Structure 1
Amino acid sequence: MDGTEKPRRITMTPAARRALVAAERLFYERGIHAVGVDLIAAEAGVTKKTLYDRFGSKEQIVVEYLAHRDERWRAFLAERLDAAPPEPVARVLAVFGASRAWSSENSPKGCSMVNAHAEISDPAHPAHAIITGQKRWMLGLFTRLAGGVAPEGAERLARSLMLLHEGALVAHGLNVFPDPFTHAREEAHALLTAGRGGRA
């Protein structure tokens, strides 16, 4: 897989869903390499055979874990963007607010994609495309939103916004300083309103 193809997904049965819930919690809390299929099966109350029958491999469980997190995040963000004021700057800043809320509720140890990439850096791994795909999607989102603020410089502005956003994710996960998302949002606001007399 070259990072552009979509990985195979499976149809979820009740047993597979229970296993995925257990895998999500274990992978996020302990790390992907540290968690074996035996532990997932035990936590989910299913047999190891059932896991392999449903998923085929641990790699596929990882794919489902990350893909499910990604789907949940995109839906969460879409709700907040739908509720945001229509003004272009406000819509960009809504992304930072959404990330702050999501991280508080779902990601106390930082971004699951960043954490997973520390363990899965091989582009041939089927989950690699999900990790990089989410970040490319975020950059595309920032580029579209930045186009409403600075049509001629949207790409450059989006990259700066992405750096602020990803830096906040990492700082949050490492607990480097309090409330990095608010700091990143304030820096983004300054960047977005530069040359506009500070108008939001």
Structure 2
Amino acid sequence: MDSELARDRALDAAETLFYGRGVQSVGMDDIRSASGVSLKRLYQLFPAKEQLVEAYLRRRDVRWRQRLAEHVDRHTDPFERILAVFDWLRDWFGEPGFRGCAWINAYGELGATSPRVVAQVRAHKRAFKAYLAGLVADAGLPAPLAGQLYLLAEGATVTAGTEGTAEPAEHAAHAAGLLLDAHR
């Protein structure tokens, strides 16, 4: 098995297991069994579990932000584009197996002990906040609104993860609509 295929299989298994069960409850033997990649090869690719967690978060970030942007890009009106973020969150929250934010989950488990994980979590959150800031700027709205929308989205994500429902996205979308209306 070539390196790229082995890496993809390991990351696919890591994503399924880490997101589904939590990082600390999953060992490298679990990744080996789920991926079909030998333990020796896993450690060649990822000399420490922390590096596998870091790679999983980085790859998930790219896909997560890409999916969000593709959804938002279906809209042309700048205000609709902002509200589309919350529509996308509702769809994401309703996906089978949704367990909240992978970055917050990883931070909760490893934030006190893993600078690599903290760096990935912060990079993801900064990128999401910057994305919202871009949408706010495109709509000609005051810059501080991006931070408010960010908090609505993040709060909805945490709440959806803990309550197991997509309903928080609806509440956040309503609040976002009120904020937008106040600035029009």
Common fold: TM-score over 0.5: yes
- In the alignment, which residue of structure 2 is the partner of 1:17? 8
Alpha-carbon RMSD: 2.0
Which residue, 105, 111, 130 being the options, matches 1:121?
A: 111
Aligned pairs (5 A) from 1:92-131: 92-105=82-95, 108-122=98-112, 125-131=115-121
Aligned pairs (5 A) from 1:60-99: 60-84=51-75, 86-99=76-89
What is the CA deviation profile of residues 123-177 of structure 1, one whole-angstrom value per residue up to 9, with x for unaligned ones? 85223211111111111111221123454x21x2111111110011011101176
Cα pair distance change 1:107/1:146, threshold 3 Å: farther
TM-score (norm 1): 0.83
Which residue, 117, 120, 140 being the options, matches 2:130?
A: 140
Alpha-carbon contact 1:123-1:129 (below 8 Å) kept: no
Deviation (angstroms), 1:89: 1.1
Cα pair distance change 1:150/1:105, threshold 3 Å: same
Greater CA drift, 46-55 or 120-129: 120-129
- In the alignment, which residue of structure 1 is the partner of 2:180? 192
Cα pair distance change 1:176/1:17, threshold 3 Å: closer
- In the alignment, which residue of structure 2 is the partner of 1:3? none
Q: Distance in 2 between matches of 1:143 and 1:123?
A: 31
Structure 1 alignment gaps of length 5 or more: 1-10
Structure 2 alignment gaps of length 5 or more: none
Residue identity in the other structure for 1:184: A
- In the alignment, which residue of structure 2 is the partner of 1:59? 50
TM-score (norm 2): 0.90
Cα pair distance change 1:135/1:195, threshold 3 Å: closer
Is 1:158 the equivalent of 2:149? no
**3-state SS of paired residue (2:95):** helix
Greater CA drift, 104-113 or 22-31: 104-113
Residue identity in the other structure for 1:90: E
- Give the aligned length: 183
Q: Percent identity?
A: 40
**3-state SS of paired residue (1:110):** coil
Deviation (angstroms), 1:64: 1.2
Is 1:183 the equivalent of 2:168? no
